[in-house]
Amino acid sequence: MASFPRRPVRLLAGIGLVLVGLLAGVLAMLLMEQEADTTQVARIVERVETAEEAGTTRTASAPRSWEKKGPPPAALNRLFRDVAGDVTEGIVSIRVASGAEGNGENPLGQPTQNLGSGVVISPEGYVVTNSHVVEGADRIQVRLTDKRQFEARVVGTDSSTDLAVIKVNGEDLPVVPFGDSDQVQVGDWVVAVGNPLQLTSTVTAGIVSALGRQLRIIEDQFRIENFIQTDAAINPGNSGGALVNLRGELVGINTAIASRSRRTEGYGFAIPSALVERVITDLIAYGEVRRGYLGVSILPVDADRAEEIGLRDIRGVYLEEIQPGSAADQAGLQGGDVVVSIGGRPVNAPNDLQSLIARRRPGDTVAVEVWRDGTARTFGVELMGEDTSVYQEWLSDLQSGASPNVEPPEYRPPDDEEERTAVTEVDGWNVGLRPLSDTQASAFEVDAGAYVAYVESGGRAAAAGLPRSVVMTRLDDTRIESPADVVQYLSEATGGVLVEVQRRDGTPAFYEIEQ
């Protein structure tokens, strides 16, 4: 029997072992790569933070709260569904008719109709919307998502912020709770809800794109614009609708879009809820907004001005001039100061200052930090109302287009006794009257009367349409020279009273108020 050489056998055996080793190595590497890929994916997924975990800090080894609910996309979907479900019930469709009376076939009338949205803010039926939505309304119809319809009346409007409050006679209406717009940051998720293009209960989502935008779109000389910008789709009909955070809280009232085609191009704007809440509180209580004023003329701070006054950073708002006798003047502010914060909140643009002051009422004291002569100083400023004599001519000049910065020859500092004169409250009518000052008598071109300091919502005077900031000159045929004359006359009057007032432009107006 022939024998084979041992060396070839050993060679073949060695080659086989090498092949087996290589195969095993390849398999091991594949297994290791697969395990590495799985581990890497797991770590990436584990780092994804769900909406429920927003604001918390955790490590990669921390428990994952979405393990039982599904991955983050499912949790996010659920979150948006919950917000949409909670909020849409409190968003109403507003249909406004103006210019004609309605009839049976066309109950809203012609020739003009306006469509918008509103947000229910109380179970009793108060609804906030944009002032331009209800402007010139002869009839307002509100429709809820459950198809209930109500007739609404205007409680009050504020052209400076483009806000309005209307009221329906409903009970237990679904309410959208207020959130804190001061906590909103660029990049936050937000949801816009409204009725664009006659499509009811439309929900869109996006992020906060910017804060503190000023667009000069509010058609009022004293406009206050400090908009939240969002890329959530907003179209005509969304005006007055809600911008909410992912807790379903109101952080803004949608008011405008930036578009040449009147369709969304990725930029929408909302009035911050902090300003909304301040304005509507006054509108509901008084039918108007009672604002405090600093009494200053302001300019933005640019690089040249910052260098000129020695500011290390380009920030703040430059006080060009101070109205003599104003709140700012009495507190010690000076022309050339740079306001860098109000109430501890930074001020970097004129609209920052305007919106922060607009949240305050007459009599409120605010901490105003300024940069002066290379140092920071803080002043406590007690704000004044527009009905104080020092502001009468100043605001009149602003409204007429005259320069508010030039002290008029007839200017005199306010008389302390005059300023402290108590308002006479007229029971039943819910109005406040002041004695007529010399400055007011000159401004209104009257020699006697009672100045209407305020008109509260819900009173007989408000129902008759009596405005504030006018001079009451006659009740029926009786001449009025003081608030005491009004009180005396009404104590003896029966039935309706014809009230004659003088407006600031010198024209009279008449209102019949029930007794």
How far apart (Å, rounded) are the C-alpha atoms in residues 157 and 311?
40
Q: How many other β-carbons are positioned within 10 Å of the β-carbon of residue 243?
A: 32
**Whether CATH 3.40.50.10860 fits 70-287:** no
Catalytic residue among 98, 117, 131, 132: 132
User: Which pLDDT belongs to residue 56?
Assistant: 34
By 3-state DSSP, what share of the chain in percent is helix, strand and coil, each rounded to 5?
30, 30, 45
Asked about 37 being catalytic, the answer comes back as: no
Annotated catalytic residue, options 209, 239, 326, 469: 239
Share of the chain above pLDDT 70, in %: 73
Contacts of 242 (CB under 8 A, 6+ apart): 87, 90, 91, 117, 119, 176, 192, 193, 194, 250, 252, 253, 254
Mean pLDDT, to the nearest integer, of 430-450?
84
| 125-134, 211-220, 260-269, 299-308 — most confident range | 125-134
* Dist CA 476 CA 92 (whole Å): 43
Per residue in 347-399, pLDDT tens? 988 889 989 998 999 999 999 999 998 889 999 999 988 777 766 666 655 55
What mean pLDDT do residues 497-505 have? 84
Integer CA distances (angstroms), 206 to 7, 229, 231, 232, in order: 77, 10, 5, 4
Least confident of 79-83, 167-171, 391-395: 391-395
Residue 162 is among the residues annotated as catalytic for this protein? yes
| DSSP structural state of residue 384 | B
What is 290-419's CATH number? Answer: 2.30.42.10
Q: What is the pLDDT of residue 436?
A: 86
**Predicted pLDDT of residue 100:** 53
For a pLDDT cut of 90, what percent of the chain falls above it? 34
Which of 158, 162, 329, 352 is flagged as catalytic? 162
Which pLDDT score is estimated for 297? 87
Q: Where are the domains of the chain?
A: 70-287, 290-419, 421-513
Asked, colleague to colleague, whether 290-419 and 421-513 share their fold, the answer is yes
CA–CA separation, 302 vs 317, rounded Å?
9
Is residue 132 annotated as part of the catalytic site, yes or no? yes
Q: Which of these CATH numbers, 3.30.450.90, 2.40.37.10, 3.20.20.105, 2.30.42.10, describes 421-513?
A: 2.30.42.10
